[in-house]
Amino acid sequence: MKAFLAFLKKEFYHVWRDPRSLLILIGMPMVQVILFGFAITNEIVDAKIAILDNSKDEVTQEISNKILSSKYFKLYEYLSSKDQIERAFKKGKIKIALVFENDFSQKLNRNENPKVQIIADATDPNTATTLINYISSNILDYQTKYLKNKSGGLEVVSKMEFNPQLKGVYLFVPGTITIILMLISAMMTSISIAREKEKGTMEILLVSPIKPLMVIVGKVVPYISLALINAVTILLLGVFVFGLPIRGSLLVLMLEIILFIITALGLGIFISTKVNTQQDALLISLMGLLLPTIILSGFIYPIESLPEILQYVSHVIPAKWFLIILRDIMIKGTEFGLIIKETLILFGMMMFFLIISIKNYKIRLE
Amino acid sequence: MNKTFVNIENISKFYGEIKALKNISFSVGEGELFGLIGPDGGGKTSLIRILTTLLKPTEGRAEINGMDIVKDFKKLRKIIGYMPGRFSLYEDLTVEENLKFFATIFNTTIKENYHLIEDIYSQIEPFKNRRAGKLSGGMKQKLALSCALIHKPEILFLDEPTTGIDAVSRVELWEMLKKLKDQNLTIIVSTPYMDEANLCDRVAFMQKGEIMEINPPETIIQEFNEPLYSVKGDDFYHLLLELRKMEITKTAFPFGDSIHLTAYNNINPSELNAMIEERMRIKTETQKISANIEDCFMAKMINTE
């Protein structure tokens, strides 16, 4: 026990005295959350819009004002001819243009269908789609109100479940937690064990009575605590800075986080049994863990939109299951009973990695 | 020889096609200071790693104090002290933290075994709060030796402890080994420096994975029976090349500021001087000398090539 404590103390010294890894461990989570939360977001703010209003009556004014008053659009200019639209697009001055036809309100009153044209810059198709959707829904909104006042007519109601404002933070905070935990747990442990091999200290540890299991556990404990601290930091940032809800049980959430941390640590130890240098450990962790975690976990691209073969591959990515659990608990407020399947899969993966890494841990140099 | 402490029988080690050790057998007595001498790549490190349970031999077996190096590796790891060839302590830990760590993982304390390392550790104790990575080469070795000794091992393995450290530290290190040997600690040490062979009780001369000879250094010197001369002269390099071309010359090697030459037959130094002068038109100073341990090893290396 004393030996184990001494080993733990040594590990904490390593972490504490290496400014580079400390920076990664503490700085990176913050930077990532802030980057993902603020900068890398799907939301569009202040998209430049030009309006060509050929009728200039109260209906078109009202629709324009409604659109311009939202935070998504910012007026670039009221135009006076069609040519100007093309020019504005080519100069990159606007993202979207709105054209009302002549005699808009009169046509509406005559029960004809006046046309409003939306032209978007589709060099960035995602943004274009989003912008068109915003505007269409605004117009539809106006139309339903207008029709309601005039003659009753039809009403269209659309509702976005769980994330009515389609906030990007809801997507990015769980994803960021997943990536950070994966990185810290798997990458840092694999590097830290590989360092002992690279520096030759593993040779001395091997020629000592200290048990392999003790070395592994000693390596793991500091990173469990660091990863937990990071998870809590990100959650706090998500809740207090980005207004993310935690609708489910906090206790279940923390237990699931610990489960995922240990799974990632198991993976890290497994990597370290296969490599001999810190550089290899870093490369394998980055290429083998980080990329699949980002791409195949459903963090950025929905799993349903992946090619079928990659959908199968995504089943073996622990992050995928963890992300489902996180989103369910935090945003949907799902009960534990409904995520038992995902939890069990993650648990199975954890046991698998722990067992093969202990089996693979070498008691000699070769 | 005292009671046998280490017994090695027909050990071979292959790394794929490469045969690092070929059928090595010898034994080391309790309290003996045993040297493994030989050029780099001779198999010294492989042998030491096998004996410290870090590698499994491909063939053969060995016992340390009656315990098998493969089967009983757990028991052996409690009684082995090992200092690897390169500095292998934690550079981001201080001198004292390193020593404390190694004491603790061997279930002992610095206080309990301080007497064992006092001579060595007292020299680096003034720097005990310095990070190990910031120590000089000699001090690093002293710390590594302290860490290898802190758990009172019954046998100590040192892999090239004097490589890359200054001459004074080298002398000090060998003095320490002598003292440890006097406390009946069995020591197996490897070195590429042939002059250090003199300081061992017995040496094994290793080359290309084989042991060429095992003997006390005095015996090795006594057995050397070739006429040996020291030649001094100007234009050292040219002289060496020319000496090697002479018919009488068996070997010629630079040795400090002179050249050591072994001849096929006994010849008077003044005759040799005359021969050189006739050949090269330069004056040389030649003396007949008795061999030191390096001459013996050089001769052995040549003979086996």
Sheet holding B18-29, edge to edge: B18-29, B4-15, B59-64, B67-68
pLDDT band at A155 (very low <50, low <70, confident <90, very high): very low
How many angstroms away from the CA of B163 is the closest CA of chain A? Answer: 16
Strand partners, A47: A73
pLDDT at B157: 96
Predicted complex ipTM = 0.83
Strand intervals (E) in B108-199: 155-159, 186-191
Which tokens belong to B125?
A: 């104790």
- Provide the CATH number for the domain around residue B151: 3.40.50.300
Place of tokens 């008077």: B268
Of the options 1.10.10.10, 3.40.50.2300, 3.30.70.260, 3.40.1710.10, the CATH number for the domain spanning A47-151: 3.40.1710.10
Q: Do residues B109 and B25 both lie within one domain?
A: yes
A10 lies within 8 A of chain B by CB: yes
What are the phi and psi torsion angles at A348 (to 5°)? -60, -45
Q: What is the mean pLDDT of chain B?
A: 90
The count of domains in chain B is 2
What does the DSSP assignment read for A191-245?
HHHHHHHHHTHHHHHHTSS--HHHHHHHHHHHHHHHHHHHHHHHHHIIIIIT---
Amino acid at A316: V
- Residues B228-249 have a mean pLDDT of 88
Write down which residue in B192, B215, B238 finishes a domain: B215
- Give Cβ neighbours of residue B298 (< 8 Å, ≥ 6 apart): B194, B251, B253, B260
pLDDT at B187 over 90: yes
What's the pLDDT tens digit per position in A217-262? 888 888 888 889 888 888 888 888 877 888 888 999 999 999 999 9
Q: Which residue from B110, B116, B86, B84 is spatially nearest to B98, judged by alpha carbons? A: B110
| Position B60 in a domain | yes
**Do B39 and B111 fall into the same domain?**
yes
For residue A70, what pLDDT is reported?
81
Give which of A214, A219, A217 is closest to A193, Cα–Cα: A219
Examine the domain organization and report whether B210 and B232 are in the same domain: no
Order of all β-strands in the sheet with A73-79 = A73-79, A47-53, A96-100, A116-120
Query: Domain of B265: which CATH number?
Result: 3.30.70.100
- Coil, strand or helix: which one is B24? strand
From B173, B189, B215, give the residue that closes a domain: B215
H or E stretch at B181: helix B167-182
CA distance A300 to A303: 9
> Coil, strand or helix: which one is B42?
coil
Report the pLDDT value the prediction gives residue A169, as an integer from 0 to 100.
61
Q: Which residues of B touch A10 (CB under 8 A)?
A: 90, 93, 97, 101
Report CB contact under 8 Å: A204, B89: yes
**Nearest by CB: A208 against B49, B77, B92:** B77
Are A248 and A335 in contact by the 8 Å Cβ rule? The answer is yes
CB contact under 8 A, B73 and A200: no
Both B24 and B108 in one domain: the answer is yes
Q: How far apart are the first and last CA of chain B?
A: 32
Indicate the helix (H) or strand (E) that contains A79: strand A73-79
* Residue B129 falls inside a structural domain: yes
Q: What average pLDDT score do residues A174-179 get?
A: 84
Nearest to B137 by CA among B113, B160, B164, B159: B164
pLDDT of residue A149: 57
- Cα separation, B43 vs B237, in Å, equals 32
Backbone angles phi, psi at B259, to 5 degrees: -115, 130
Together in a domain, B211 and B78: yes
pLDDT digits (tens, 9 = 90+) for B277-287: 888 888 888 98
Rg (CA), chain B: 22
Q: What does the alpha-carbon distance between residue B118 and residue B110 come to, in Å, rounded to a whole number?
A: 10
Are the CB atoms for A326 and A178 separated by under 8 Å?
yes
Q: Is the model more confident about A318 or about A167? A: A318
Q: Measured between CB atoms, does B123 come within 8 Å of chain A?
A: no
- Residue A20 in this model has a pLDDT that exceeds 90: no
Q: Is B223 within the bounds of a domain? A: no
Extended strands (E) in B16-97 = 18-29, 33-37, 59-64, 67-68, 80-83
Give the mean model confidence (pLDDT) for residues A168-185.
79
CA nearest neighbour of A190 among A220, A230, A218, A162: A220
A7 in reach of chain B (CB within 8 A):
yes
Backbone angles phi, psi at B300, to 5 degrees: -65, -40
The answer to the question of residue B221 being in a domain is: no
Both B165 and B298 in one domain: the answer is: no
Residues of B within 8 A of A6 (CB-CB) are 100-101, 104-105
CA nearest to A267, candidates A247, A252, A289: A289
Per-domain residue ranges for chain A?
26-40+167-360, 47-151
pLDDT at B101: 94
pLDDT value of position A168: 59
Residue A53 reports pLDDT greater than 70: yes
- CA-based torsion, A91, A94, A96, A97: positive or negative: negative
Task: Report whether A53 contacts A64 (CB < 8 A).
Answer: yes
**Do the strands B80-83 and B155-159 form a parallel or antiparallel pair, or are they unpaired?**
parallel
pLDDT value at B56 more than 90: yes
Q: Which of A2, A9, A204 lies closest to B84 in CB terms?
A: A204
Do B9 and B47 lie in one domain? The reply is: yes
Taking CB atoms and an 8 Å cutoff, what residues of chain A touch B53? 206-207, 364
Domain edge (last residue) among B183, B215, B247: B215
Query: What's the gap in Å between the CA of A195 and the closest CA on chain B?
Result: 10
Q: Are B138 and A40 a contacting pair, CB within 8 Å?
A: no
Whether residue A158 has pLDDT greater than 50: no
pLDDT confidence of residue A153: 35
Secondary-structure breakdown of chain B: helix, strand, coil percentages, each rounded to the nearest 5 = 40, 30, 30
| Average pLDDT score over residue span A293-320 | 84
Q: Residue A43: is its pLDDT beyond 70?
A: no
3-state secondary structure of A335: coil
Residues 6+ positions from B226 with CB-CB distance below 8 Å = B250, B262, B263, B291, B299
Nearest CA in chain A to B150: A208
The verdict on B257 and B142 lying in the same domain is: no
Residues 87-116 of B with CB under 8 A from A: 87-93, 97, 100-102, 104-107
* A173: CB partners within 8 A, 6+ apart: A33, A36, A37, A234, A235, A237, A238, A242, A244, A330
Q: Is residue B132 part of a domain?
A: yes
Q: How many whole angstroms separate alpha carbon B76 and alpha carbon B82?
A: 12
Is the same domain home to B11 and B55?
yes
Q: Which range has the worst mean pLDDT, A102-106, A163-167, B44-48, B248-252?
A: A163-167
Domain ranges, residue B275:
228-304
Q: Are residues B206 and B267 in the same domain?
A: no
pLDDT score for A166: 52
The reply to whether residue A204 touches residue B56, judged by beta carbons under 8 angstroms, is no
Q: How far apart are CA A34 and CA A31, in angstroms?
A: 5
